[in-house]
Copies of this chain bind each other. A is one copy, B any other.
Amino acid sequence: MRLALIGVGLIGGSLAAALKAAGEVDHVVGFDIDPRAAAKGVAAGVIDRAAESMAEAVSSADVLILAVPVGAMREAMAGIAKHLPPQALVTDVGSTKVSVIADARATLGAAFGRFVPAHPIAGGERPGVEHTDAGLFQGRLAITTPTPDTDPAALDAIERLWRSAGARLERLAPDVHDRIFAAVSHLPHVLAFVLVEMIARSPDADAKFAHAGAGFRDFTRIAASSPQMWRDVCLANRVALASELNAFCESLAKLQEAIVGADGAALERVFQAASDARRRSPSVR
């Protein structure tokens, strides 16, 4: 099987490497709007060939993986649409699904049924194809969010690929996916970014950072994430994220009232409920 990787980075590179290691894929051609990324992919042995153009990458592929930021998805899809072989399958690895599906519907035409929206819950501290890890998806969740128009055979084929890469599979409705990840991923990123930016802007920023302990380090680790990727995610999922942000601000305002009013019982109720939930939840222990 011939794989075309559109966007040569950590996630796409790791998926290509895992599929090659599993014997699912014989040949990987990569295309990136940054030619250096594609060259690094070749140097790292992750892609066999760097395509000079989208047409060249796409035209002989059996499967295409779109591994570009969600904000670049529509343009990438428009780019592949006109060169797509009649039987080729398309999937993506974007962190939001409703917007990506809308992009696909708007650009892929008759091939929309062969597009299988997917989101692997995995990542690495260090971005870039040079940090490719064929074991990145081992035991991790890969979520597909098919639409009523998704071809069941395409869905099966793409899910089989994720399984070969070591992932556990789950299907979710696209809007359910986006609501869940607005709460457990996008909102925490926003909070961490806003906290660190606020501290960095304060007159005693150096003293504050110098006294940060392990709790702060863990809490703000995600604030070192790619600003461009998270800008795209926040824009792509802005409706669900704004709703979670509203709910969060309401809860925070109540807690602030309790602090100002020295209402220890109210504080303890919230903290106890959080502590219980945090300790109870096996996935986050």
Contact = CB atoms under 8 A, between A and B. Distances in A.
A215 B121 CA distance: 10
Given A210-B283, A283-B210, A274 B231 contact: no
Interface of A is mostly: helix
A123 interface: yes
A211 B145 CA distance: 14
Contacts of A176: 204, 207
A33 interface: no
A217 interface: yes
Oligomeric state, in number of copies? 2
Contacts of A245: 252, 256, 259
Interface stretch (A35-43, A73-81, A110-118, A191-199): A191-199
Interface in A177-195: 179-181, 183-185, 187-195
Interface in A212-268: 212-228, 230-232, 234-235, 238, 241-242, 245-249, 251-253, 255-256, 259-260, 262, 264, 267-268
A273 B209 CA distance: 14
Contacts of A180: 204, 207-208, 211
Contacts of A249: 249, 252-253, 256
Contacts of A212: 184-185, 281, 283-284
A248 B208 contact: no
A267 B255 CA distance: 26
B259 A234 contact: yes
Interface in A121-168: 121-123, 141, 143
Interface residues of A, number: 91
Contact of A284 (B197, B207, B220, B247): B220
Nearest to A281: B209
Contacts of A192: 219, 274
A15 to B, nearest CB: 17
Given A218-B218, A227-B271, 16 more contacts: A123-B213, A143-B211, A179-B204, A180-B204, A184-B199, A185-B213, A193-B255, A196-B277, A200-B276, A201-B273, A209-B277, A209-B283, A218-B221, A219-B222, A223-B278, A227-B268
Interface of A: 71, 121-123, 141, 143, 176, 179-181, 183-185, 187-202, 204-205, 207-228, 230-232, 234-235, 238, 241-242, 245-249, 251-253, 255-256, 259-260, 262, 264, 267-268, 270-279, 281, 283-285
